[in-house]
């Protein structure tokens, strides 16, 4: 097990992990710098909409392209915005996962020092650990990281699936409190929901899975679409958690074109950043190796925004 000094006390999550946690984009200026003004604006919109969680530095936040000082600043701004919401503030779940266990522990401890409530830890990518290695990685981070851990399973990006049996063993650890499940396997999801221990939250890792997951007893979603439509995603989860399935289905169907368009034409977050630019909320800027959404994919995205009840501006030029 990785050994580090000055282990911070484990910070309990400020609220239960359920409902909508927004996987925040990271806005950039024309010169490629962090756009703090735009990030504050996005955070205010999320808090006002009543989301239950804020997730900076995930895949949608382009975390691999951010430097240490930028990551710290983004977490700090997110914690500040959450604190301003008062007693019912959203939980801050900072992305800290890497393919290096020691680096993940250090990033998790730094997030704890900055005031995050929990850490989103993606399965190690590139080095393709087996199930025993995955289990050892998460247990080490849980023991030494100083924050409750949300496991992030997304084999389409990491090339390694965290099997249901492995996750269920991890869920027995008191500091491993939830999973963002994006395997795309209904079979795996059903087993996890059936056999999870009490108090362990299961969150959809794809917006399109929100309603099916909650119908099976799941707790909510880490959402890309809530960058664009936070109120609608809050309504969807509230209806589903209250057993109002017809109302939940109506919202799901209205947002279905947006769920699809957010992952069409380019890797996430290129589509959602294009959408937010169409809505006048950020500049359409990404960091290489990602590029802005191509023009031929934009009509589908504009139509999806209109179907969701939003009013995109005229098509913007492609930006690098």
Answer yes or no: is pLDDT of 167 > 60.
Answer: yes
* Mean pLDDT across 80-94: 95
Interval 45-62: pLDDT, tens? 999 999 999 999 999 999
Residue 27: C-alpha distances to residues 92, 104, 230, 263 (Å)? 18, 24, 17, 18
Report which of 240, 262, 260 is spatially closest to residue 251, judged by C-alpha positions. Answer: 240
Interval 171-226: pLDDT, tens? 999 999 999 999 999 999 999 999 999 999 999 999 999 999 999 999 999 999 99
Answer yes or no: is pLDDT of 320 > 70.
Answer: no
The dihedral over CA atoms of 78, 83, 84, 85, expressed in degrees to the nearest 10, equals 100
Q: Is the dihedral of CA 236, 147, 171, 25 positive or negative?
A: positive
- CB atoms under 10 Å from CB of 39, counted, come to 23
Cα–Cα distance, 60 to 84 (Å, whole number):
24
- CB atoms under 10 Å from CB of 261, counted, come to 27
pLDDT band per the 50, 70, 90 thresholds, residue 10: low
pLDDT band per the 50, 70, 90 thresholds, residue 145: very high
119, 71 contact by CB (below 8 A): no
Answer yes or no: is pLDDT of 317 > 80.
Answer: no
pLDDT band per the 50, 70, 90 thresholds, residue 313: confident
Cα–Cα distance, 31 to 262 (Å, whole number):
25
Domain range summary for the chain, segments of one domain joined by +: 19-242
51, 230 contact by CB (below 8 A): yes
For β-strands 176-181 and 91-95, DSSP reports them as unpaired
* Mean pLDDT across 76-89: 95
The separation between CA 127 and the C-alpha centre of its own chain, rounded to angstroms, equals: 23
pLDDT at 2: 38
* 21 membership: H or E segment, kind and range: strand 19-23
* Residue the block writes with tokens 């008191």: 174
Answer yes or no: is pLDDT of 11 > 60.
Answer: no
* Residue the block writes with tokens 């190690």: 124
pLDDT at 315: 54
90, 51 contact by CB (below 8 A): yes
What are the residues facing 121 on neighbouring strands?
Answer: 151
- Residues that are catalytic: 152, 180
Tell which wins on pLDDT, 148 or 312: 148
Cis bond upstream, residue 289 (ω within 30): yes
Q: Is the dihedral of CA 113, 116, 118, 120 positive or negative?
A: negative
Enter the DSSP assignment of 153: E
Interval 226-277: pLDDT, tens? 999 999 999 999 999 999 999 999 999 999 999 999 999 999 999 999 999 9
pLDDT band per the 50, 70, 90 thresholds, residue 314: low
Cα–Cα distance, 77 to 171 (Å, whole number):
30
Q: Which CATH architecture best describes the domain 19-242?
A: Alpha-Beta Barrel (3.20)
Above pLDDT 70, what percent of the chain?
93
- What is the length of the chain? 320
């Amino acid at each position: 097990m990785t050994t580090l000094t000055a282990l911070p006390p484990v910070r309990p999550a400020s609220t239960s992990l359920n409902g909508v946690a927004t996987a925040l984009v990271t806005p950039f200026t024309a010169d490629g710098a962090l756009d703090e003004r735009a990030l504050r604006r996005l955070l205010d919109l999320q808090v006002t909409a009543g989301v239950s969680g804020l997730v900076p530095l995930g895949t949608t936040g382009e975390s691999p392209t951010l430097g240490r000082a930028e990551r710290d600043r983004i977490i700090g701004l997110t914690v500040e915005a959450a604190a301003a919401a008062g007693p019912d503030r959203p939980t801050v779940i900072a992305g800290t996962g890497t393919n290096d266990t020691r680096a993940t522990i250090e990033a998790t401890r730094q997030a704890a020092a900055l005031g995050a409530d929990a850490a989103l830890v993606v399965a190690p990518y590139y080095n393709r650990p087996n199930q025993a290695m995955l289990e050892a990685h998460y247990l080490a981070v849980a023991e030494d990281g100083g924050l409750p851990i949300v496991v992030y399973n997304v084999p389409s990006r990491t090339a390694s699936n965290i099997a249901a049996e492995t996750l269920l063993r991890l869920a027995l650890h008191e500091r491993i409190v939830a999973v963002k499940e994006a395997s795309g396997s209904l079979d795996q999801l059903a087993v996890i929901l059936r056999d999870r221990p009490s108090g362990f939250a299961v969150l959809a890792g794809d917006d399109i899975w929100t309603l099916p997951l909650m119908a099976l007893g799941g707790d909510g979603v880490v959402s890309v679409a809530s960058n664009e439509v936070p109120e609608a995603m809050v309504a969807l989860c509230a209806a589903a958690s209250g057993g109002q399935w017809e109302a939940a289905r109506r919202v799901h169907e209205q947002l279905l074109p947006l769920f699809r368009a957010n992952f069409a034409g380019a890797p996430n977050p290129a589509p959602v950043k294009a959408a937010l630019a169409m809505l006048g909320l950020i500049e359409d800027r990404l960091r290489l190796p990602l590029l802005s959404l191509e023009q031929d994919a934009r009509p589908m995205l504009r139509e999806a925004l209109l179907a969701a009840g939003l009013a995109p501006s005229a098509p913007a030029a492609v930006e690098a």
